[in-house]
Amino acid sequence: MSKRVTSARGAGTARSRATLTAGISIAALLLTGCVQSEREEDAGGGGDSAVDPTFVFAASSDPKSLDPAFASDGESFRVSRQIFEGLVGVEPGTADPAPLLAESWETAEDGLSTVFQLKEGVTFHDGTPFNADAVCFNFDRWYNWTGIQQAETTSYYYGSLFRGFADSPEDAVYESCEAQGDNEVTINLAKPFAGFIPALSLPAFAMQSPTALEEFSADEIGGTAEAPSLSEYALGEPVGTGPFMFDSWNVGQQLELSIYDDYWGDKGQITKTIFRIIDDPQARRQALEAGTIDGYDLVAPADTQSLKDAGYNITPRDPFTILYLGMNQAVPELKDPLVREAISHAIDKQALVDQTLPEGTKVATQFIPEVVDGYNEDVTTYDFDPERAKELLAEAGYPDGFEVTFNYPTNVSRPYMPTPEQVFTNLQAQLSDVGITVTPAPAAWSPDYLNQVQGTADHGLHLLGWTGDYNDTDNFIGVFFGQEKLEFGFDNPELFTALDDARAVSDRDEQTELYKDINEQIAEFNPAVPLAHPAPSLAFAPRVTSYPASPVNDEVFTEIELSE
Amino acid sequence: MLRVIGKRIALLIPTLFGLSILLFLWVRSLPGGPATALLGEKATPEAIARVNELYGFDRPLIAQYFTYIGKLLQGDFGVSINTGRPVLEEFATRFPATLELTIIALIFAIGVGVPLGYLAARHYGRLVDHGSVVLSLIGITVPVFFLAFILKYLFAIQWSLLPPDGRQNPRINATHYTDFYVLDGLLTGEYDAAWDAFLHLILPGLALGTIPLAIIVRITRASVLEVQNADFVRTARAKGLMERTIRGSFILRNAMLPVVTTIGLQLGLLISGAVLTETVFAFNGIGRFLRDAIFGLDYPVLQGFIIFIAIFYALINLVVDLSYSVIDPRVRVQ
Amino acid sequence: MSAILPPAAGGSAAPDDPAIDTGRGAGLWRNAFVRLRRNPQAIVGAVIIGLFLLVALLAPILAPYGGNDLPGRTEITPTTIPGPGELDGFPLGLDRFGGDVLSKLIWGAQASLLIGVVSTALGLAGGMLLGVLAGGFGGWVDNLIMRFVDILLSVPNLLLAVSIAAVLGQSAYAIMIAIGVSQIPIFARLLRSTMLSQRGADYILAAQTLGLSRRTITMSHLLPNSMGPVIVQATLTLATAVIDAAALSFLGLGGGLPQTAEWGRMLTYAQAELAVAPQLAFLPGACIAITALGFTLLGESLREALDPKTRTK
């Protein structure tokens, strides 16, 4: 949900990866179906004895916090996904929910209560048993946060998805948690929340050890300092049920995890995982070439081909992203629908994709990727037609074009926008072909750019995008167009109501139809130009024969296959 | 001597005080103000208003300044916006890395620069001399991060001779006590870890050391040229002293004074260079952290680090001044 | 990054060169000029600067395309950037945005000249103002100004520039101002110390005896006679300004169009393609280094020529 989160997410094709792998190694062929026993035999069988079980992955920054409940950034989540598990996981290679710590669940007709059947015999790294009480402890912990714990800078996901806390029960989505014995738990909601189950797959809602949370005062944050400071737990004592245990964290340098011997599931080949912090993308590539790391995320589009040629494995994720050109209607020219239509016709999306975006990127016709419910095949599109664009401009009263500010971020790489400067220059040139002169307004990503575009009305055309957290239509268009926003500067009560209504519908098929209509409604209203669904890629050393690329970044390193 | 040191430190106080005022005003003049810098991308007008009230950014400037300086005097430099850790702690954990790098760079610069400058002066107008002039010009005119790129591209990528980034190979198990990795390796007897850490220092050290190298070569050359024709050297020669004695005790010793001054001055400049070099080599020191702070407008870090650096710089200058009297007994520090 | 460069004494113009006019009538500057002409270092420097100025001023004529034009926009893809000689009409190839590298290098000279001159002028003007006030008046004015200069000098030069740029926001002007202001303390201190050293000179004593006002003495005698080192420093600052501008671009403080034809900017964007298209980094990098070299050579030769120590008595 947060745009910050996206620093390292994207999409991948676990399946196509696996197919590729099969050709390379016989072992991989056996493993494609994740047959646990075979893998273990394989590892012990001597054939793989030469495999170095240490896996080094380059992260673009330190995690913000080791406590995922107080984190919202991609690098924190990447680490949390190894240490923690939630009740709900993600179907491999998709964005759909799947059983994890909860083996099954059943939601009542009214959508207000869900009964989870928990996996038995799971323990946290500190020996605390995972049971219904532990689940309730976590839910109640989130619900009972106060003061600075509720701030957007700390508990972003809980705050935005579950809306309210114990001190504001009128807003709260969560109501209570009841443990029935050890392995059954009921979560009661105060109001229906269609995205409840998929939302639980977010690392922010992972299960943490109640013992450790208390012992290391996980909720003691903030204190007297200006910015929220981290708790002892979040700095170095995270305890979950996941396959890896926290070892050490040398800030700015590296973070080490080691395998949890009593992990309930398949432990895979890797016994030690090291996250090496390298912030510069080019430096990550060089570290891979020098052999210090085994892989890294968000490969620059320019590097994919040359790395492939040099024998490295490039793993693209399935695009679960959207990049759009926003048109702020607080600017008089952009308020005119004719002008917005002209801009849409002036842009050659295919050329933009070919010239600036990574391989695997798809041209966008609407604001959700194809795999998300409510994707409308027959949505109104504005094809590239510069002549039509000029006519429309003339019709709108700008026969000689006009001037408009174009805001774009610098020195940043987002999964949906690896090279903003290049996207900007490309669009700028296309627009100038139909007579629209843009005034460039570059700004550093955070806080300048985001503040300018989202926090003020003082911007014109602008580039922004999104990476979905899970398969939920509202997670895309509801975020963009669900309410009056300074970013787009329009008030369209009809659209806002439609989105609100759709969110409250509990029947999935009915909801899907509603979203299809809404997508058409948005296309006709044309508040922004959906440009593309860029596909982020990862790069790996030749010894990494398989990586579980996930469109929503649900990538656990036990699934990695190494050949040497 | 002690009185001199005390006096110098006392003189540092008004400078630091002035610096704190400038830094305080600087934060207040940042675009969007401190609240925006604090909230980042989640800044909504309401959130900004809340933060302004919470942290007192809406109070009169003077009152805010006294709160700020009061905290500083208690050693509270605030918390980094980027990492959520105290600024003081961030500095303390990273400074050893930068110091280690700086020392390597200086050893390189002095170890190569002084002999080269000396040789250039002795063989004035010959090949060594011209070579040293060209080398020092390159050192001054090539942007330091560009040089870092070239070194990394050639030695780490093309020829794979040296590691391209970081302070130590992630796969090496090393124990750390002091955060000086080479020293740690030597103390614990993990010689492979020490060697590995040293290898990681070579490329960034070379890149960082080039500018001081260039300057030290020039200073040494100029200084030796001047001294070797001085009257006392002629007298010594006339007295028939051994050439070795003349060169060692007379020329080199007397020529060192300006060189020492330069080395002191260079230490401050090395911090600037470290911002760029550490970025290129993903070297986890204060330079790279400052770069991140600049990008993210992490103003508590910028404020704190600038003050620490200023103190460090002043202390170095003090040491340099004191070392004069060791090198040249005629100089008495006042 | 930038600092007062140490003198490279024992330059190539030998002290006993008979061709140098040692007559009393010859002025300091004329004498210096004669010495410069005989110094190969100075000539190399002058040639580089001459070429640089020529390219910068004639950019509109010399460059095949405009600096911010993207004539090759349709020829690039994320994985292909035509290099030198690979595409007709673009002798040095294209950059990441589809700009013509040759044109951008040529226009880049103009940008660098502008940055260099404006920021040096700023630093010079500010530094002279402070220096004259301090050196001319002495006393508490001097004390106050020099304390202020000390504070600024206690912050490493690049950090100072970065801090200033952070306040000003992203723009080309911000970079010029940041570099210029960060040079002020250096000029101020230099001018003050030169003026102080001149104070006891005979001609000043003479002027004082004649009863000239302090202002006249400062402005008409002290200042002009203290300008030598300042001018030398200004020449050297032109070199460091070009390098510092690249460093600030590298730290992401540029502004304007991303494809702006400016060497530092080109170098910054080239990092991402270092492995694929190293020429994109090496060409502007070389331009920066050569230009800086030109100014440095000229500045140092000038210093030698003006230095009383290397002049014959």
Find the CATH number of the domain harbouring B205.
Answer: 1.10.3720.10
pLDDT top residue among A36 and B34: B34
Same domain assignment for residues B110 and B62: no
B316 within some domain? no
**Per-residue pLDDT for A445 more than 90?**
no
* Structural domain for B29, as ranges: 12-74
Which one, of A461, A444, C186, lies nearest residue B30 by Cα? A444
A333 and A260 part of one domain: no
Confidence (pLDDT) at A152:
66
The one-letter amino acid code at A43 reads A
Confidence of residue A21 (pLDDT cuts 50, 70, 90): very low
Please report, for chain C, the start and end positions of each structural domain, with discontinuous segments joined by +.
49-310
List CB contacts (< 8 A) between B171 and chain A: 54, 56, 274
Are A418 and A352 a contacting pair, CB within 8 Å? no
Q: Are the beta carbons of A292 and B164 separated by less than 8 Å? A: yes
Most confident of the ranges A240-244, B114-118, C33-37, C154-158: A240-244
> Does a structural domain hold residue B330?
no
Note whether C173 contacts A: Cβ–Cβ < 8 A: no
Please give, one letter per residue, the 3-state secondary structure of C269-303: HHHHHCCCCCHHHHHHHHHHHHHHHHHHHHHHHHH
Task: Tell me the mean pLDDT in the region B207-223.
Answer: 88
* pLDDT tens profile A507-519: 778 889 999 999 9
**Span C147-159, average pLDDT:** 83
Written as one letter, the residue type at C47 is V
Same structural domain for residues A291 and A369? no
- What's the CA gap between A238 and A183, in Å, rounded? 23
Range with the lowest mean pLDDT among A442-451, A510-519, C290-299?
A442-451
The answer, for C209 touching chain A at a CB cutoff of 8 Å, is no
**A281 interfacial to chain C (CB closer than 8 Å):** yes
A251 closest CB neighbour out of B44, B93, B157: B93
Give the helix/strand (H/E) hosting C11.
Answer: none
The subunits that touch chain B, with at least 3 C-beta pairs less than 8 Å apart, are A, C
CATH number of C49-310: 1.10.3720.10
Put simply, whether the predicted model's pTM sits higher than 0.90 gets the answer no
Portion of chain A with pLDDT greater than 90, in percent:
52
**What is the per-residue pLDDT for A137?**
96
Indicate if the pLDDT at residue C46 is higher than 70: yes
What is the distance between the terminal CA atoms of chain B, rounded to a whole angstrom? 9
Whether chain C has a CB inside 8 Å of the CB on B14: the answer is yes
pLDDT band at A365 (very low <50, low <70, confident <90, very high): very high
B24 three-state secondary structure: helix
With respect to residue A478, please indicate whether it lies within any of the assigned structural domains. yes
Nearest beta carbon to residue B137 from set C1, C288, C293: C293
- B 134-153 → C contacts, CB under 8 A: 137-138, 140-146, 149-150, 153
Percentage of the residues of chain C whose pLDDT score is greater than 90 = 17
pLDDT score of A320 more than 50 = yes
B15-18 contacts at long range (C-beta below 8 A, 24 or more positions apart): B15/B310, B15/B314, B15/C147, B15/C150, B15/C151, B15/C154, B16/B307, B16/B310, B16/B311, B18/C147, B18/C148, B18/C151
Looking at chain C, the whole-number percentage of residues with pLDDT higher than 70 is 88
- Flag whether B81 is in a domain: no
Q: Does B229 touch chain C (CB under 8 A)?
A: no
Contacts of A254 in chain B (CB under 8 A): 166, 170
With 80 as the cut, is the pLDDT of residue B74 above it?
yes
By residue range, what is the domain housing residue A398? 321-533
Asked whether A465 and A536 are in contact (CB, 8 A), the reply is no
Confidence class for position A467, pLDDT limits 50, 70, 90: confident
- Please check whether residue B254 lies inside any domain of the structure: yes
Chain A CB within 8 Å of residue C252 CB: yes
Distance CA C16, CA A148 (A): 78
DSSP A204: G
Q: Is B80:B87 a contact under the CB 8 Å cutoff?
A: yes
Residues 6+ apart with CB under 8 A from A107: A113, A114, A196, A197
Instruction: Give the tens place of pLDDT for each residue, B284-320.
Output: 888 888 887 877 777 788 888 888 888 888 788 778 7
Alpha helices in A124-223 (DSSP H): 132-143, 156-162, 196-199, 210-215
Residues of A in contact with C267 (CB under 8 A): none
- Would B328 be classed as within a structural domain? no
- The one-character DSSP state at C217 is I
What pLDDT, on the 0 to 100 scale, is given for residue B279? Answer: 82
B253 shares a domain with B143: yes
- Least confidently predicted of A523-527, B219-223, C273-277: C273-277
Most confident of B190-194, B217-221, C47-51: C47-51
For residues A300-310, average pLDDT: 87
Distance from CA of C298 to the nearest CA of B (A): 12
Q: Do residues B66 and B108 share a domain?
A: no
- Chains in touch with C (3+ beta-carbon pairs under 8 Å) read A, B
Flag if C247 and B215 touch (Cβ within 8 Å): no
Classified as helix, coil or strand, A370 is coil
> Is there a contact between C271 and A282 if contact means CB atoms under 8 Å apart?
yes
B39–chain A Cβ distance below 8 A for any pair = yes
Query: Rounded to a whole number, what is the distance in Å from the CA of B141 to chain A's nearest CA?
Result: 24
The pLDDT of B103-116, averaged and rounded, is 92
Cβ atoms of A240 and A124 within 8 Å: the answer is: yes
Residue A172 within a domain: yes
Peptide bond into A447 cis (omega under 30): yes
Say how far residue B40 (Cα) sits from the centre of its chain: 30
Whether B107 and B62 map to the same domain: the answer is: no
Identify the top-confidence range among A223-227, B68-72, C182-186, C256-260: C182-186
Question: Pairing mode, if any, of strands A528-533 and A295-296?
Answer: unpaired
Contact A145, A123 (CB under 8 A): no
Asked if A444 and A421 count as a contact pair (C-beta separation under 8 A), the reply is: no
User: Is the confidence at residue C7, as pLDDT, over 80?
Assistant: no
Residue C1 belongs to what H/E stretch? none
Q: Which residue has the higher pLDDT, B7 or C311?
A: B7
- In this structure, the answer to whether residues A491 and A552 fall within a common structural domain is no
For chain B, what is the domain count?
Answer: 2
Interface with chain C: mutation pick from B140, B266, B267, highest number of C CBs within 10 Å? B140
3-state secondary structure of B251: helix
Q: Is residue B83 part of a domain?
A: no
First to last CA, chain C: 36
Query: Which of the two residues, B189 and B105, has the higher pLDDT score?
Result: B105
For A490, other C-beta atoms within 10 Å of its C-beta total 17
Confidence label for B31 from pLDDT (cuts 50, 70 and 90): low
Same domain membership, residue A387 and residue A519: yes
A303 domain-assigned: no
Highest averaged pLDDT of the listed ranges A382-386, A505-509, B54-58, C190-194: A382-386
Same domain assignment for residues A73 and A191: yes
CA A217/CA A373 separation, integer angstroms: 41
Q: Does residue B167 have a pLDDT over 60?
A: yes
- pLDDT of A20 > 60? The answer is no
| CA B322 – CA B334 distance, rounded (Å) | 10
Q: Tell me, what's the pLDDT at B205? A: 93
Whether A40 and A177 map to the same domain: the answer is yes
Q: What is the largest CA-CA distance in chain A?
A: 77
What is the model's pLDDT at position B45? 58
Of all residues in chain B, the one with the smallest CA distance to A152 is B42
Find the mean pLDDT for residues A277-281: 82
Is pLDDT larger for residue A21 or for residue C34? C34
Contact criterion met (CB < 8 Å) for B163 and A444: no
Same domain, yes or no: A501 and A550? no
The DSSP-derived string for C165-184 is HHHH-SSHHHHHHHHHHHHH
Question: Could you give the CA distance from residue A380 to residue B228 in angstroms, rounded to a whole number?
Answer: 86
Judge if A467 and A366 occupy the same domain: yes
Write out chain B residues lying below 8 Å of C1, CB-based.
144, 211, 269, 272-273
Query: Considering only A212-226, B87-101, C80-94, C221-235, which range has the smallest mean pLDDT?
Result: A212-226
- Is A438 found in the same domain as A544? no
For residues B113 and B246, membership in a common domain is answered with yes
CA distance C73 to A355: 8
Which pLDDT score, from 0 to 100, does residue A1 have?
Answer: 37
- A43: domain CATH number is 3.40.190.10
Q: What is the mean pLDDT of residues B35-56?
A: 57
Mean pLDDT of chain A: 85
Lowest-confidence pick of A141-150, A217-226, A284-293, A524-533: A217-226
How far apart (Å, rounded) are the C-alpha atoms in residues C90 and C149? 49
Residues C13 and C22 sit within 8 Å (Cβ to Cβ):
no
Residues A145 and A79 in one domain: yes
CB pairs under 8 A between B and C: 136
Q: Are residues A167 and A276 in the same domain?
A: yes
- Cβ of C81 and A302 within 8 Å? yes
User: Does A437 contact C at CB distance below 8 Å?
Assistant: no
A526 with A554, same domain: the answer is no
What is the sign, positive or negative, of the torsion defined by CA atoms of B311, B317, B323, B329? Answer: negative
Single out the residue of A271, B22, B250 nearest to residue C159, CA to CA: B22
Q: B212 and B134: one domain?
A: yes
Output the pLDDT for position B234.
Answer: 82
Looking at the fold, whether B103 and B162 belong to one and the same domain comes out as: yes
pLDDT above 90: residue A334: yes
Candidates C2, C250, C267, C274: best to mutate against B (most CBs of B within 10 A) is C250
B84 touches chain C (CB under 8 A): no
Q: How confident is the model at residue A240 (pLDDT cuts 50, 70, 90)?
A: very high
- What is the domain-level CATH number for residue A417? 3.10.105.10
Task: Report the range of poorest mean pLDDT among A21-35, A297-311, A349-363, A520-534.
Answer: A21-35
Tell me the residues of chain B between 19 and 78 that have a Cβ less than 8 Å away from chain C: 19, 22, 26, 29-31
B window 3-32, beta carbon within 8 A of A: 31-32
A479 three-class SS: helix
